[in-house]
Amino acid sequence: MNELYLFLLMVIPLAAAGVVALGPAGREKSVSMAAMLLCGVITLLLLLAFDWTRAATMQFEASVAWLPRLGLSLSVGVDSVALLLIALTALLGPICVACSYTAITERVRTYYAWLLVLQSAMFGVFAARDLVLFYIAFEFTLVPMYVLIALYGSTNRKKAATKFFLYTFTGSMIALAGLVYVAWHAAEMRKGWSFDIATLELAARTLPASAQGWVLAALLAGFAVKVPLFPLHTWLPLAHTEAPTAGSVILAGVLLKLGTYGIYRFAIPFAPAAFAEYAPAISAVCIVGILYGGLICWVQTDVKKLVAYSSVAHLGFCILGMAALNTAGLSGSIMYMINHGLSTGALFLLIGMIYERYHTRNMKELGGLAAKMPVWATFMVFFAMASVGLPGLNGFVSEFLCLIGAFQADGRWGAGSMGSGLWGSGGAAVPGATWGSLGPWYAGVAGVGMIVAAMYLLYMVGRVVFGPLVEPAGHGHEAHGSESHAAPGHGSESHAAPGHGSESRATTGHGSESRATTERVHGVLPADLNLREILTLAPLAVLCLGLGVYPTPVLEAINGPVQKTAYMVEDAVKPRLAGERAPAGVRPVFDLGGHEATNPDGTKPKEGEVIGQ
């Protein structure tokens, strides 16, 4: 029965999408909400039925034959990591529906139908235990998101949607080549094609080093675009800015996690040695992303773009933790996936609420909203703090773990050998050091990113939430920056009355159409948040607080899979170091258990270079 649940998670939203698209008009909100909540209930049942004592094993596994000639099957199953991400998806689903109630007024049925299709595809990604099923779900998220951005976004939406689609599609075509290569390697060994992920993970261990490098490159091409890592991130700010609120929430909350999840689930297990070898390079890219993203945020005037760029920086932390390849780093990374989904999703919700009221996201036109929207302001400050990484809130736990992971992942100190680095040379032991090729320098530089994050987020909060009240002078889109630079005082006076207008999109046949425009939005939205909006934010806030104060259950839950992954990488790297059988040109960057790493010619490898740069 439990096995069916995972299939149900994929089928229910799809079926609901069909009902919404073809059924009677006017029911779309309730039908989609019901479907999303039903998925939530199923997820809850799954969480209860899951055997957390053996979290690393795949549970609820089920498989249905499908195109056996190609070795495909509809296989599903989850470990605790996948299940938690499913839970995140299921949590954000109803929230996305709820936050669209008043924002979407045109082509409503299409909107909710695509939202549901997207939900189904996202469940599919996390539940898949067949590589092709994963890939299908992964790719299929593109179409709904493309439509959501291109139909319901703001001014530049088509360009944003197309850019989003093309970037991710290009990356994933290359990733497909890499994945098929792994499948081929497995087929060579097993004499039969199969895309079963567990089988492929086993087979990938025998991939030669050079092949692993290429596989890693191909997979990263697909997943790093989605994350997005630094040089490949350019689609993200545009897509976020143009997307409707629910689109942004899903994009930040779940879709970006498809990239990190892909790296965790495929790039590391399929190319463990190569991932370990290139971990410094990957981390370097992450750190550049962290700092660069942070600095870009600092100069943004568009609130939504600011949060979008902050995602680039935050996910840099996430991948940095992953590249540490030790328990702390990997746990932090997975925690980060969940936490980022909660806090950034909430920030996008909050910005969406402002946008619905003022039709601007320009920080110059907004200010001191705490005076007028105390509830909103409270949430804003709270989630900004969570995003900054204030201790006691969820962001802190994961960010700290990622940095600790990177800090400790320094094999040179791990067993007291070597220790020729620039930092504390002479074998100054990092407490709890693990093998790995990062180290304090990586963690230290990345840590600067936390400060930058505090700067830009607090700057934004200070400007928008506190200070003198500023509201857009004009109404609606036209006011987007031209005549609206009124002095703060002026703005507050002329709009002290809740009379900011809206344009046609905010109307919902409320009977008040004939009245003045200024009145219309009032029929729908109060000055501060209404109950629906508070209810969409409250669960996120509770979780942010809960995961910040007491993250232990989640950390324990993901400990099993994380250790499995860490050991797996270690196993893959060990033989390469043990006998120095690494092919010429591959510099061993690890040193395990007291072994003196030497090159075949007897000289010591120049490891200092890694740190020194």
Which residues in this chain contact other proteins in the complex, by CB under 8 A? 66-71, 132, 135-136, 139-140, 142-143, 146-147, 150-151, 158, 162, 165-166, 169-170, 173-174, 176-177, 180-181, 183-184, 187, 193, 214
Measured CA to CA, the distance from residue 148 to residue 280 in angstroms comes to 37
Residue among 173 and 422 whose Cβ is closer to other proteins: 173
Q: Is 193 exposed, middle or buried (0-12, 13-18, 19+ CB in 10 A)?
A: middle
How far apart are CB 194 and other proteins at their closest, in Å?
A: 10
How far apart are CB 475 and other proteins at their closest, in Å?
A: 24
Residue among 107 and 581 whose Cβ is closer to other proteins: 107
Residue among 84 and 149 whose Cβ is closer to other proteins: 149
Residue among 136 and 288 whose Cβ is closer to other proteins: 136
Residue among 176 and 465 whose Cβ is closer to other proteins: 176
Residue among 184 and 550 whose Cβ is closer to other proteins: 184
- What residues form DSSP beta bridges with 78? 59
Residue among 187 and 572 whose Cβ is closer to other proteins: 187
How far apart are CB 207 and other proteins at their closest, in Å?
A: 13
- Contact assessment for residue 151 and residue 110, using Cβ atoms and an 8 Å cutoff: yes
Tell me which residue of 357, 341, 348 sits closest to 304, measured CA to CA: 348
Residue among 171 and 321 whose Cβ is closer to other proteins: 171
Q: Is 25 exposed, middle or buried (0-12, 13-18, 19+ CB in 10 A)?
A: exposed
How far apart are CB 312 and other proteins at their closest, in Å?
A: 22
Tell me which residue of 222, 237, 253, 592 sits closest to 435, measured CA to CA: 592
Residue among 11 and 49 whose Cβ is closer to other proteins: 11
How far apart are CB 149 and other proteins at their closest, in Å?
A: 10
How far apart are CB 170 and other proteins at their closest, in Å?
A: 4
How far apart are CB 65 and other proteins at their closest, in Å?
A: 8
Continuous segment of H or E residues that includes residue 482: none
Those residues whose C-beta lies under 8 Å from the C-beta of residue 588, and which sit 6 or more positions away, are 576, 577, 580, 582, 597, 605
Q: Is the peptide bond before 605 cis (omega within 30 degrees of 0)?
A: no
DSSP 18-38: HHHHHS-TT-HHHHHHHHHHH
Residue among 148 and 555 whose Cβ is closer to other proteins: 148
Helices 394-408 and 374-388 pack at an angle, to 10 degrees, of 10
Residue among 146 and 278 whose Cβ is closer to other proteins: 146
Residue among 65 and 299 whose Cβ is closer to other proteins: 65
The CA-based angle 53-55-61, given to 5 degrees, is 115
Measured CA to CA, the distance from residue 118 to residue 115 in angstroms comes to 5
How far apart are CB 200 and other proteins at their closest, in Å?
A: 13
Tell me which residue of 350, 293, 361, 358 sits closest to 156, measured CA to CA: 361
Tell me which residue of 520, 486, 491, 515 sits closest to 503, measured CA to CA: 520
Tell me which residue of 565, 559, 81 sits closest to 275, measured CA to CA: 565
Tell me which residue of 112, 113, 139, 134 sits closest to 124, measured CA to CA: 134
Residue holding tokens 């030497």?
Answer: 598
- What residues form DSSP beta bridges with 437? 410
Please state the φ and ψ torsions of residue 56, each to the nearest 5 degrees: -80, -20
- Contact assessment for residue 419 and residue 425, using Cβ atoms and an 8 Å cutoff: yes
Measured CA to CA, the distance from residue 311 to residue 252 in angstroms comes to 7
How far apart are CB 242 and other proteins at their closest, in Å?
A: 13
How far apart are CB 564 and other proteins at their closest, in Å?
A: 28
HSE-CB for 437 with a 13 A CA cutoff: 27
Residue among 194 and 360 whose Cβ is closer to other proteins: 194
How far apart are CB 472 and other proteins at their closest, in Å?
A: 28
How far apart are CB 191 and other proteins at their closest, in Å?
A: 9
How far apart are CB 11 and other proteins at their closest, in Å?
A: 14
Please give the span between the terminal C-alpha atoms of the chain, in angstroms, as a whole number: 55
Distances (CA, A) of 374 to 494, 519, 521: 20, 22, 19
